[in-house]
Structure 1
Amino acid sequence: MTAPAPMPIPQPVPQAARGELPVLSPQEAARNFVTVVTRVEPVAEALCRARTNGQADCDLQIVIDKRMELPPNAFQTLDEAGRPVVGFTLALIADARNADELAFVLGHEAAHHIAGHIPRQKQTAAAGAVLGAVLGQVTGADAAMQDQLQNIGASVGARRYSRDFELEADALGAEIAFHAGYDPVLGAGFFARLPDPGDQFLGSHPPNAQRQAQVAAVVARLKQQTGTGW
């Protein structure tokens, strides 16, 4: 696919030594979200069609979960018809310090769909469940223990590649945000406000520093390819 030329990027919000950015007003946050969806969604859908050779449903449905009690979060799922859905909680929209963060998050969640992470995770979970069942049979476990081992195997299988999936979505999400005219490096700054998962055993997310380094590497490559120097 020939990469589209990046759209002009808004000037980054000044910050002292990349320190904490101020919280936006509800009006600013809402305007940012509308603008980001307008600019990022068509880029993500076009990349989806190109990367999947038209074999996937690339008609993204962007939704907002309006429950006020939910924490900042974004997710990708499929509706009953199999259409891809990207959801944001109100808290995440309010917590984003600039449009670049929203653009990166939207690109990241769209990337999960483009890369087929939901079916791939189901496959690894199923494989893990089979291994758990085999282990139960080999060790002569009773029915209850075999069920438990099968469930454990499915859980381990689902998490086995989850870190790789997150890094893959970070890279592709950065590409989407970049071609929509946003700064993914600035957008990935929201990692600094998240608890660092570190190197937890079977953790589902990579360390924040690794994710930021991934985004920076992707953006450096894209700048070189496009001759963009912002």
Structure 2
Amino acid sequence: MNQSILIVEDEEKIARLLEIELEFEGYRVVKEKNGIDGLETYYKGTWDLVLLDIMVPGLSGTQLLQRIRKNDANIPVILLTAKSSIADKVEGLDLGANDYITKPFVIEELLARVRAALRVAATKDTAPRMADTWLGAGDLRLHEGTREVLRGEHSVDLTPREFDLLVHLLRHQRQVLSREQLLENVWGIDYVGDTNVVDVYIRYVRNKIDPTRQLPELIHTVRGIGYVLKESV
């Protein structure tokens, strides 16, 4: 396996537990106690995934996440947080985290989320490249190579998860997709969170591609099933 994971966690017992369990699973692990050292180590190495505590000293987890995303939009980042409110979790996901897990956690669940995040990342790496191809519906266009999204002539700024969700919807236009299908294909087959996260992210994408609510609707709700992307008739 030999995949590399960077842990940024200031609680030594938790960091050591993660190190032991992940190394037992075959991963190469490096751990740092604060955000500044974590950022320096991140830039020095090549990583397959980052486990990041939100409350680390020196440079907060969210600040470190923002810097990681400026450098790499695709590396999986899982947040470790003692904050259990939906607002805190949504903030982390909005900043580009792929997933979060609340302390205290069950190690088997964390390992499952790591596997899921790495599997999704590997799927992206092996997927056919579409560097010169635009996906589109109506006046919405998306370029996978440059990660550019346009609605008419206006640029749309999406987080990595929102972008992946929109890509999947565009690739399956006019196909009704259940929440479970979207979770499996966008979040990963091993994702163990609530399916309500799909509804939250659909709302985010809708608001961003049509913030004024004046444009033709593209993402439609199919009551009791899920969602479909198609041009309104």
Question: For this structure pair, what is the TM-score category when the shorter chain's length is used for normalisation?
Answer: 0.3 to 0.5
TM-score, with length taken from structure 2: 0.36
The structure where helix makes up a greater share of residues is 1
Which of the pair is proportionally richer in strand?
Answer: 2
Q: Which has the higher contact order (CA 8 A, sep 6+)?
A: 1
Larger Rg over CA atoms: 1
The alignment's TM-score, normalised by the length of structure 1, stands at 0.36
